[in-house]
Amino acid sequence: MSSTRRAASTPTVTIPFPKGPRYGPATERAVLALLRSGRLSDTGRGAAIGELEDAFAKFTRTTHVLSFGSGTGSLMAALHGVRVTPDTGVLMSPMNWISAILAAFHAGSYPIFGDIESTSPNLDPAAVTTATNYSAVLVTHAFGIPARMDALGAATTRPIVEDASHAHGARYAGRPVGSWSAAGCFSLQGDKDVSGGEGGILTTNDRAVYERALTLGHHPHRLDAELTLPELLPLAATGAAYKLRMPALSAVIAHEQLSTLPARTAAAETNLAVLRQVLARLGAPVAVSGLGSGSTRGWYRVPLTVAHPVADPAALFAACRTERIPVRPHYPDWLRSPLLHDRALLLDFWPHLRHSPYNPPDPDAFPNYHLARRQTLLIKVPTVSAPEYMEQVGNGLARVTTSH
């Protein structure tokens, strides 16, 4: 093979993706201490659960925090907490993981969709203004980009729930995500910036939302200790029969992860700054999503917008993979999922829909969403210092997007 052909086949990114140990010595010590205590199950609010919830309350500047076994459980409980109903829907963006969509069904309601903004992966406030027949809004801070919570709040009088599963540590206009609305929800699944392996967190400043969410997933001792609302006191011994609480093991792991998040976030921010400089220097037709004043992003993914029309997103993605650029795939287009369109399937899982005005979404009715799916590359940014790696990623992105 000639040296020219060999050089042509060499990917631009030759450095392996930089990462430190996900769970360090402090986490190992905390897990070992819990194992030695023999208290892996917590039916109340013991030390492991209480310390994590208190840390998230301080982290998000909220009054009440409730832990769950998954982010999906926290979404389901939050929607129950804000009183969604079977005869009105939950308004949301299609730029979501499927769990957020299905949480509306689980909570006894159904999803209805609004388009995203043309300049953001998040729900458009204009879509909220024009929507009808919904009882709550579920706002996802997609790919860690904070949604415009002030504009969304001004667009509706109905309660808003934030899905902040991509946005641990993000702020909008100086205020933590998860604190802007009736309730915020965080996933602690293994791929998230704060992980307990599995788990979920609900944040709120509304005591009634907190207690209603408590009845959905926790029983019996915690309910007996914490319920105060007269209409909920009959549930103190039973709850609503679900068991959605978090294992103590997940809580101690997530607590340690939360304590290291600021250092990891700072490293990722520096790495993204290097990437911006490289792309600007090379004149690459790629833009990093900007944020408003006082806002910061989460680091689940970083969306990059390709400036010129992308005719074949799959080919562009494959070319990035060939260059070893750390691109990640978009979620499937859930608007076309059989589960949202097959009435027999829906009724098999959620019989309440027999008497519901739910209609399947029109998959082609959301132009900004479809444009974003074509024009957006999602990359993973290291959370350890990696300037040389980011230099190579920038060179690779310039090479691929210019040639495509």
The DSSP line for 46-106 is -HHHHHHHHHHHHHHT-SEEEEESSHHHHHHHHHHHTT--TTSEEEE-SSS-HHHHHHHHH
pTM for this model (two decimals): 0.94
- The pLDDT assigned to 2 comes to 41
Contact, 51 vs 98, CB < 8 A?
A: no
Contact, 381 vs 193, CB < 8 A?
A: no
Token output for 318:
């494959």
- The pLDDT assigned to 148 comes to 97
CA–CA separation, 213 and 223 (whole Å): 11
- The pLDDT assigned to 58 comes to 97
CA–CA separation, 241 and 115 (whole Å): 36
The dihedral over CA atoms of 237, 197, 192, 321, expressed in degrees to the nearest 10, equals -140
Work out the burial of residue 187: count CB atoms within 10 Å of its CB; fewer than 13 is exposed, 13-18 middle, 19 or more buried: buried
Alpha carbon distances (Å) from 25 to 46, 67, 236, 298:
23, 24, 40, 25
By C-alpha distance, which of 366, 379, 361, 309 is closest to 126?
Answer: 366
Alpha carbon distances (Å) from 34 to 30, 168, 244, 257, 403:
6, 25, 21, 16, 54
- The pLDDT assigned to 22 comes to 87
Q: Which residues of the chain have pLDDT under 50?
A: 1-6
